[in-house]
């Protein structure tokens, strides 16, 4: 029987561990970790994501703040905000929510964040440390996936892992983290020839392409561990029925919200073949916020020169 990898439960366990370490920190007379998010404009998806991070901070006893400049802010003004946060000794983690308006270079903004406060793990220094196996911050989503696999007792060393997608946020760091765990890693992308023949080699298959139900039954071998990173909205009733035939819950979601959330894998085709799989929603998504909180605790401990980082 296919195991369902419960990201909600794993994320709750991580948050509880972070909360305990924050209590230990403050009980020893140290200040609580501080996380500041910069949310430019009023994108609903970004607002919801930043809101979840703020709620997470409150849950674990961290101090959070959200700065909300208008979408018309200039690049120099935004860089000035980042500079101020870099200087602020009460701020341990800085998150600049992406994407940014077209007049602003995301590359310049990310590179302006102090590497010691880069809890998103996107700064070039953080990327370099990942690939050089040095201590540093790694992006929340792929880091959360490794935690999910480990905490569910799924062995990694020696396994063949295939990552479909090569983004700087998920695909590339996912490959780096799996290499750290001694997997043999293949990264696939839009120009990969005969994709199904490659993905069928995977013991661990990570789908991170941003296309609804892109991977089907022909892409996975029997017993593979399938990690679905995708979060896609679909609103076409015919497409919902094709992907989830006879699923009354999906029909009700579509009727109530006008859409339903699906991943990058065709769940009804792949789940019966997989040894384990993450659902969408409730799989990878909850882990992202949990690992941002973990990274913020780690940053606070390092910046206060306490041993052991977040562990």
| Domain boundaries, given as residue ranges, for the chain | 32-113, 140-285
Cβ-based neighbours of 246, under 8 Å, separated by 6 or more: none
**What pLDDT score does 44 carry?**
86
Per cent of the chain over pLDDT 90 is 94
Which CATH architecture best describes the domain 140-285?
A: 3-Layer(aba) Sandwich (3.40)
The mean pLDDT of 117-138, rounded to a whole number, is 97
Catalytic residue among 92, 117, 118, 120: 120
Instruction: Please give the model's pTM, rounded to 2 decimal places.
Output: 0.94
DSSP string across 51-67: HHHHHHHHHHT-EEEEE
Same CATH topology for 32-113 and 140-285: the answer is yes
- Annotated active-site residue 120? The verdict is yes
Distance between CA 294 and CA 250 in Å, rounded?
A: 33
| Residue 208 reports pLDDT greater than 70 | yes
Q: How many helices (H) and strands (E) does the chain have?
A: 12, 11
**What pLDDT score does 310 carry?**
55
- Measure CA of the first residue to CA of the last residue in the chain; give whole Å: 34
- Annotated active-site residue 53? The verdict is yes
- Annotated active-site residue 47? The verdict is no
pLDDT in tens, 7-25: 999 999 999 999 999 999 9
Task: Report the topology of domain 32-113.
Answer: Rossmann fold (3.40.50)
Mean pLDDT for all residues in the chain: 95
| Residue 194 reports pLDDT greater than 90 | yes
């Amino acid at each position: 029987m296919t195991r369902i990898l419960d990201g909600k439960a794993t994320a709750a366990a991580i948050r509880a561990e972070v909360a305990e370490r924050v209590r230990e920190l403050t009980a020893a007379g140290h200040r609580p970790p501080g996380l500041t998010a910069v949310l430019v404009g009023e994108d609903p998806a970004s607002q919801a994501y930043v809101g979840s991070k703020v709620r997470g901070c409150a849950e674990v006893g961290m101090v959070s703040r959200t700065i909300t400049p208008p979408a018309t802010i200039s690049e120099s003004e935004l860089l000035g905000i980042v500079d101020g946060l870099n200087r602020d000794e009460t701020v341990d983690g800085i998150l600049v929510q992406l994407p940014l308006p077209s007049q602003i270079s995301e590359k310049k903004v990310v590179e302006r964040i102090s590497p010691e406060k880069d809890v998103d793990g996107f700064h070039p220094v953080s990327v370099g440390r990942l690939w050089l196996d040095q201590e540093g911050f790694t992006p929340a989503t792929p880091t959360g996936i490794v935690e999910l696999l480990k905490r569910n007792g799924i062995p990694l060393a020696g396994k063949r892992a295939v990552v479909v997608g090569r983004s700087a946020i998920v695909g590339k760091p996912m490959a780096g983290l799996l290499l750290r765990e001694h997997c043999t890693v293949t990264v696939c992308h839009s120009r990969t020839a005969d994709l199904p023949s490659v993905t069928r080699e995977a013991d661990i298959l990570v789908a991170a392409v941003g296309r609804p139900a892109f991977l089907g039954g022909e892409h996975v071998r029997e017993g593979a561990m399938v990690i679905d990173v995708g979060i896609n909205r679909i609103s076409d009733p015919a497409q919902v029925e094709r992907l989830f035939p006879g699923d009354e819950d999906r029909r009700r979601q579509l009727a109530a919200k006008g859409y339903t959330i699906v991943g990058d894998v065709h769940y009804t085709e792949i789940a019966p073949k997989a040894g384990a799989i993450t659902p969408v929603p409730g799989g990878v998504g909850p882990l992202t916020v949990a690992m941002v909180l973990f990274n913020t605790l780690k940053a606070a401990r390092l910046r206060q020169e306490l041993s052991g980082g977040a562990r």
